[in-house]
Amino acid sequence: YVTLLTSDSYVPGALVLANSLRAYGTKYPLVAVVTNDSVSPNSVNHLRSVFNDIVFVDTIRSNDKKNLDLLGRTELDITFTKIHVWNPDVIKYSRFIFFDSDVLVTRNVDELFGYVDGDIDFAAAPDCGWPDIFNSGVFVTKPNRAIYDGLMAMAMSEGSFDGADQGLLNQFFSNWAQSSEGPFKTNRLPFVYNVTPSSVYSYLPAFQQFEQNIAIVHFIGEMKPWKWDRFSDGKIVPKSEFPYQTTTLVQKWWDIFDQY
């Protein structure tokens, strides 16, 4: 299991991600890829307490202010750094599951490794905002020098349609969820492996129908769980702009935080 840290602000998320994986009994090692210039030594020490391995990399920036302004997320300029995970010199495993550090698992998900069996190179779940593309916060893949070199070349020559890693990866794995063959074979993960809170209020009946099947929650957007206020008893303070179902997911995040 691999995650990426490019700032101190996401360390609480990475710690809860790692502890949730361990809480549900994963048998696989946990790796944190950390940028050299933007994560403090104190944060790295916290990460060492829960991750099996820390790997340091240089930051890769998209420098695409226009598209990031459209997205309303200028801080995602550094997300091209995610390209490093395909470098076999960085991730020295035959396959891995990548999670953004704002992800929480709600059960054991080791079965995800099977989605890239054989000659499958990449697997991801649909994005609720535009389901013909995948969300890049959760994916299963293999270190591959050709993919790494191809992504670096595309990042430098074409950039990304959204200015961030999700646009770039969808341009590169453009055959995802289609019958057409591409240079790299892809697979589709069920949505329960990357459920975003925005899906709760966009299609509440579906959330209620499949809630018990949710395996992974991905807290996209700027309002991360660790930014929510809490009462003295540990319960989070509800927010009027979020439905009750989102509040329960955030509470699950805090329950893992408090447990460890």
Mind listing the pLDDT tens digit for each residue in 233-245?
Answer: 999 999 988 888 8
Spatial distance between the Cα atoms of 241 and 119, rounded to a whole number of angstroms: 44
- DSSP 3-state assignment of 88? coil
In the predicted model, is pLDDT for residue 69 greater than 50?
no
Mean pLDDT of 106-134: 95
Residue 23 pLDDT > 80: yes
Q: How far apart are the first and last CA of the chain?
A: 19
Q: Is 144 exposed, middle or buried (0-12, 13-18, 19+ CB in 10 A)?
A: middle
* Tens-digit pLDDT profile for residues 209-231: 999 999 999 999 889 999 999 99
Q: State yes or no: pLDDT of 87 exceeds 80.
A: yes
Residue tagged 């699950």 (tokens): 252
Report the interhelical angle of 11-23 vs 41-48 (nearest 10°).
0
Q: CA 123, 79, 13 angle in degrees (round to 5)? A: 80
If one compares 60 and 117, the residue with the highest pLDDT of the two is 117
Per-chain mean pLDDT for the chain: 90
User: Is the distance from CB of 210 to CB of 192 less than 8 angstroms?
Assistant: yes
Residue 122: is its pLDDT beyond 70? yes
pTM (two decimals): 0.92
> What is the CATH number that goes with domain 2-192?
3.90.550.10
* pLDDT bracket for residue 199 (50, 70, 90): low
Phi-psi domain of 234 (left: phi exceeds 0; alpha: psi -120 through 50; beta: other):
left
Give me Rg for the CA atoms of the chain.
Answer: 18
Q: Which residues contact 37 (CB under 8 A, 6 or more apart)?
A: 58, 59
pLDDT band at residue 117, thresholds of 50, 70 and 90?
Answer: very high
Residues 36, 227: Cα–Cα separation, whole Å: 25
Cα separation, 211 vs 175, whole angstroms: 29
Q: Which range among 138-152, 168-182, 189-203 has the greatest average pLDDT? A: 138-152
Look up residue 159 and give its DSSP letter. Answer: -
pLDDT of residue 70: 44
pLDDT score, position 89: 97
